[in-house]
A and B are shown apart, each in its own frame.
Chain A
Amino acid sequence: MTILNETLQEEELKIQTPSISRKDEYESVGKSVLRKDSVPKVTGKAIYTGDLHMPGMLFGKVLLSTQAHALIKSIDVSAAAAVPGVKAVLTSRDIPGENAFGIAIPDQQVLAETKVRYIGEPVAIVAAEDIFAAEQAISQIQVEYEPLPAVFSPFDALKPGAPAVHAKGNILYHTKVRKGNIERGFDEAAIIVENIYRTSGQDHAPIEPEAGFAWIDAEGVLNVFSGTQYAFRDRRQIAIALNLPMNRVRVANMTMGGGFGRKDDVTAEILVALLAWKTGRPVRLVYSRHEAMMSQTHRHPTYTRVRTGANKEGKLTAMEGVIYGDTGAYASLGLFVIKKMALHLGGPYYYPNYKSDSFSVYTNNPIFGAFRGFGVLQAAVSHEGQIDELAEKLGMDPIEFRLRNCLRPGLSFSTGQLMTNACGIATTLERLQDYLVENGLSIELHPEVSA
């Protein structure tokens, strides 16, 4: 079987080799022209959402949940509403449309209604004449919680009888990848390495914390300005929450200080729109760094068990893996992040036999969503650990071992999809070989390699 695969691989290589782009004669393409946004940014003229101001503008502020999992017994806003300068104190009762949103599935509440599911979930919002009044009002809101049992790891969340974060259960999504015959693949292996890898959460830390600005124009259109990765989805979700026709809502992106995936979700947009709609006044809502870190999404923490086999010629024969991804209190893009991770768990290598399962699991942790790398970054920690260890145990140069096993045009990915000529992995590895030579470096195997 292995020999057959190898022959196939060699045959395919003869037919297709990657084509490198020709030396071009382009005028603009391939040139490091001055960026369109450089001058306004370095001269300080660029306008970020937090810079916006209008006559009559109110300042918004959000009250975040202090409980990981609790029923809301009551919310008393009377003291907050009595603070001088306060124009609105809103809770879930004040939402004209649906109190639901979410990128992939609308399982998230604009403002928590009967239950909170994480520390940092928005519970109430305030608009006031100045930020100090808004802050004072937030501190005056009385929320009575009844704590519920909570789960803080995917393993606890999957135990029989574990507290349910959502009514439909704690498994958001289970992905299965099945290619070839995994048992035969490991039978053919001369060496198998098996490990557990753990990756932690990560904050996106964009230089600009989340912010939104909303006002109603002369035609009655609700305008929302923010730093967003997708204005059109924000518009749809604002319209649904406010019960407005979608063409009566306008969302525009301001100059933005990064997103890295976090601003793909709705952030301040629905909340600031709600405050403007209820007060009829322009409203600006700017999250502090701490508020942004507490309430917004992060990178999924993951736990991966994986075993990888290679034959004595140094060819990969099989990979089997199982992944548990903590998606936190709400789905965000957690089903797709952890699904993508299952597909990419083997990395840029050819495995005739591949089996992986991934579980995206709800917990009462903060929300984990899209973040530059999108599950593939977590997968890389596993597959590059595995590949490097196999190379070491086989006594092979790590780059040579990768080149021997990397995907090539005509070979198939974990999903069976055939790679095209635009398969550049070998070229990137060869570039590193050149780099080593250019810099007089070499990779010497460590003498005390763990056996």
Chain B
Amino acid sequence: MKLRGIGVGSMMYGLGYGFARPDFSTTDIELAPDGTVTIWNGASELGQGLQTLLCQLVAEELGIPYEDTFIITADTGRTPDAGPVSASRSTYVQGNSALKACRDLKKPMAELAGELLKTDPDQLIFKKGLVQDQNEPSRSISFTNLAGGMHQRGRRVRGSGYHSITTGDVDKETSQGDAYATYAWASQLAEVEVDTETGQVTVLRLASATDAGKAINPKMVEGQIEGGAVQGLGFALMEDMKIEQGEFKNAKLSTYLIPTAADVPMVEPLIVEVYDPTGPYGAKGVAEPATIPTAPTIFNAIANALGQRVRFTPATPEKMLKLLGKLEEKEEQITIEDMPYPEP
């Protein structure tokens, strides 16, 4: 018999490291005489899109085309230290440091523009390739011309931005305190079909409502959501790391099964934007939030279909048949007696 069910699952995630661990980034940027910009940041491009994101932020902040930005990342011989790429922090921490580098560069640029345009540097805005007096739009100079002028006059053409979200530690005995700089949020919904004869669980659809604060690059956010869903699905249903007497017995991709295209359901990325005033343009990270709720969402859909709950991973067909009482459970199970709550 094939039974269908729908379930939901949610999560929150403290962004960055917390616990007084160093959590900072430095970005350097340099203006060339033709108005193009080079960015140096010590964080790694893993395939998540960090380079693109930092270039978009810099382009926006300087009011120049994205194509006019070039970035060099993660090289101790060239880039400043930007901290690790982990804890879904890159958009939030490295992004903010890039904005600060732009603001640092804009100071000498606004000074020269103010001299040339005979106006107050504080009233100048950088937008659409122009540096313009916001009260008197006729007073403007192109970003490119200003860049050339900066070099001709020997002005400072480098900017540097440092940003830190290093927190204090929580109390040792109670863990009370401000643990993280900000939090990320996500909820997912899954529809599944369970074959009660074979134990096979098929995910038919997975909708993922993930709060990006502000999606700097919506396609990349969708990529994180889709990849996160697939990795979460693998954790929920397939990836069975068999460790016997300390040995990882199936340490090959022929026996340790991860999802392939054939296992991936329709994933619907639903980008939610709850503006975070502490993030760059309101943005925060989505990498981990996109994968955290997937397994319990699928398990809640299974419970909705069967009336029986999965409280283990992975829910392989074999383990589902044990849950349904169609196969004998031979493994010794951990019980409540094995896990007393520690004293207050």
Chain A contacts with B in 173-194, Cβ cutoff 8 A: 175-179, 182, 194
From B179, B180, B243, B308, give the contact of A366 (CB < 8 A). B243
The reply to whether B239 and A202 form a contact with Cβ atoms under 8 Å apart is: yes
Query: Taking each of B87, B245, B311, B336, which has the highest tally of chain A beta carbons within 10 Å of its own beta carbon?
Result: B311
The reply to whether B245 and A422 form a contact with Cβ atoms under 8 Å apart is: no
Complex Cα–Cα for A201 and B250 (A) = 12
The reply to whether A424 and B291 form a contact with Cβ atoms under 8 Å apart is: no
Number of interface residues of B (CB under 8 A): 136
From A32, A290, A377, A425, give the contact of B291 (CB < 8 A). A377
B113 within 8 A of A: no
A450 within 8 A of B: yes
From A27, A293, A305, A384, give the contact of B256 (CB < 8 A). A293
Query: Which residues of chain A have C-beta atoms less than 8 A from B14's C-beta?
Result: 340, 343-344, 376
Considering the complex, give the chain A residue whose CB is closest to the CB of B21: A336
Q: A35-B52, A118-B246, A252-B76 are in contact. Are A450 and B309 (CB under 8 A)?
A: yes
Chain A contacts with B in 336-373, Cβ cutoff 8 A: 336, 339-340, 342-344, 347-348, 355, 357, 363-366, 370, 372-373
The reply to whether B272 and A424 form a contact with Cβ atoms under 8 Å apart is: yes
From A20, A227, A301, A340, give the contact of B273 (CB < 8 A). A20
Q: A152-B245, A202-B241, A293-B256 are in contact. Are A427 and B274 (CB under 8 A)?
A: yes
Number of interface residues of A (CB under 8 A): 141
Partner-binding segment picked from A3-11, A87-95, A398-406:
A398-406
A136 within 8 A of B: no
The reply to whether B8 and A398 form a contact with Cβ atoms under 8 Å apart is: yes
Partner-binding segment picked from B115-123, B135-143, B144-152, B228-236:
B228-236
B216: min CB distance to chain A, Å: 5
Considering the complex, give the chain A residue whose CB is closest to the CB of B274: A424
Query: Which residues of chain A have C-beta atoms less than 8 A from B287's C-beta?
Result: 372
From A29, A31, A119, A388, give the contact of B300 (CB < 8 A). A388
Complex Cα–Cα for A378 and B170 (A) = 21
A51: min CB distance to chain B, Å: 16
Partner-binding segment picked from A77-85, A127-135, A254-262, A276-284:
A254-262
Chain A contacts with B in 402-427, Cβ cutoff 8 A: 402, 406-407, 413-417, 419-425, 427
A210 within 8 A of B: no
From A200, A377, A383, A413, give the contact of B179 (CB < 8 A). A413
Q: A35-B52, A250-B77 are in contact. Are A260 and B272 (CB under 8 A)?
A: no
B187 within 8 A of A: yes
Complex Cα–Cα for A199 and B311 (A) = 8
Query: Which residues of chain A have C-beta atoms less than 8 A from B243's C-beta?
Result: 152, 201, 365-366
The reply to whether B10 and A384 form a contact with Cβ atoms under 8 Å apart is: yes
The reply to whether A435 and B270 form a contact with Cβ atoms under 8 Å apart is: yes
The reply to whether B46 and A303 form a contact with Cβ atoms under 8 Å apart is: no
Considering the complex, give the chain A residue whose CB is closest to the CB of B77: A250
The reply to whether A423 and B183 form a contact with Cβ atoms under 8 Å apart is: yes
Query: Which residues of chain A have C-beta atoms less than 8 A from B85's C-beta?
Result: 229-230, 259, 264
The reply to whether A293 and B183 form a contact with Cβ atoms under 8 Å apart is: no
Chain B contacts with A in 39-54, Cβ cutoff 8 A: 42, 44-47, 49, 51-52
Q: A68-B245, A231-B42, A388-B7 are in contact. Are A289 and B252 (CB under 8 A)?
A: yes
Chain B contacts with A in 245-300, Cβ cutoff 8 A: 245-248, 251-253, 256, 258, 268, 270, 272-279, 281-282, 284, 287-288, 291-293, 295-297, 299-300
Partner-binding segment picked from A54-62, A105-113, A137-145, A441-449:
A441-449
From B11, B51, B56, give the contact of A376 (CB < 8 A). B11
The reply to whether B248 and A399 form a contact with Cβ atoms under 8 Å apart is: no
B114 within 8 A of A: no
The reply to whether A435 and B189 form a contact with Cβ atoms under 8 Å apart is: yes
Considering the complex, give the chain A residue whose CB is closest to the CB of B278: A422
Chain B contacts with A in 196-247, Cβ cutoff 8 A: 207, 209-211, 213-220, 228, 231-232, 234-235, 239-241, 243, 245-247
The reply to whether A294 and B248 form a contact with Cβ atoms under 8 Å apart is: yes
Complex Cα–Cα for A355 and B343 (A) = 10
Complex Cα–Cα for A33 and B312 (A) = 41
Q: A293-B252, A449-B307 are in contact. Are A29 and B177 (CB under 8 A)?
A: no
A36: min CB distance to chain B, Å: 4
A196 within 8 A of B: yes
The reply to whether B253 and A37 form a contact with Cβ atoms under 8 Å apart is: no
Query: Which residues of chain B have C-beta atoms less than 8 A from A377's C-beta?
Result: 232, 235, 288, 291-292, 295
Complex Cα–Cα for A257 and B311 (A) = 32
The reply to whether B47 and A178 form a contact with Cβ atoms under 8 Å apart is: no
Query: Which residues of chain B have C-beta atoms less than 8 A from A71's C-beta?
Result: none
Query: Taking each of B45, B75, B296, which has the highest tally of chain A beta carbons within 10 Å of its own beta carbon?
Result: B296
Considering the complex, give the chain B residue whose CB is closest to the CB of A256: B46
The reply to whether B178 and A415 form a contact with Cβ atoms under 8 Å apart is: yes
The reply to whether B278 and A26 form a contact with Cβ atoms under 8 Å apart is: no
Query: Which residues of chain B have C-beta atoms less than 8 A from A221's C-beta?
Result: 77
Query: Which residues of chain A have C-beta atoms less than 8 A from B232's C-beta?
Result: 377
Complex Cα–Cα for A68 and B243 (A) = 11
Query: Which residues of chain A have C-beta atoms less than 8 A from B178's C-beta?
Result: 415, 417
Complex Cα–Cα for A227 and B44 (A) = 8
Complex Cα–Cα for A303 and B340 (A) = 12
Chain B contacts with A in 1-40, Cβ cutoff 8 A: 5-14, 17-19, 21
Complex Cα–Cα for A201 and B11 (A) = 20
Query: Taking each of A21, A289, A407, A445, which has the highest tally of chain B beta carbons within 10 Å of its own beta carbon?
Result: A21
Partner-binding segment picked from B58-66, B104-112, B156-164:
B58-66
B27: min CB distance to chain A, Å: 14
The reply to whether A415 and B311 form a contact with Cβ atoms under 8 Å apart is: no
B313 within 8 A of A: yes
Query: Which residues of chain B have C-beta atoms less than 8 A from A420's C-beta?
Result: 182
A43 within 8 A of B: no
From B19, B21, B300, give the contact of A384 (CB < 8 A). B300
Q: A26-B60, A29-B281, A435-B268 are in contact. Are A380 and B292 (CB under 8 A)?
A: yes
18 A–B contacts, CB within 8 A, in A order: A29-B281, A30-B218, A35-B51, A152-B245, A175-B175, A195-B311, A198-B334, A202-B241, A228-B44, A229-B85, A256-B47, A264-B85, A324-B339, A343-B170, A366-B243, A372-B291, A373-B291, A446-B5
When A and B form their complex, which 6 residue pairs have the shortest distance between CB atoms, in order from nearest?
Answer: A68-B246, A384-B296, A424-B274, A424-B211, A253-B74, A32-B219
Given A231-B42, A343-B175, A415-B175, 16 more pairs with CB closer than 8 A: A27-B60, A176-B342, A200-B313, A231-B74, A253-B44, A264-B86, A289-B253, A340-B18, A347-B10, A381-B313, A388-B9, A402-B8, A421-B275, A427-B185, A427-B209, A429-B187
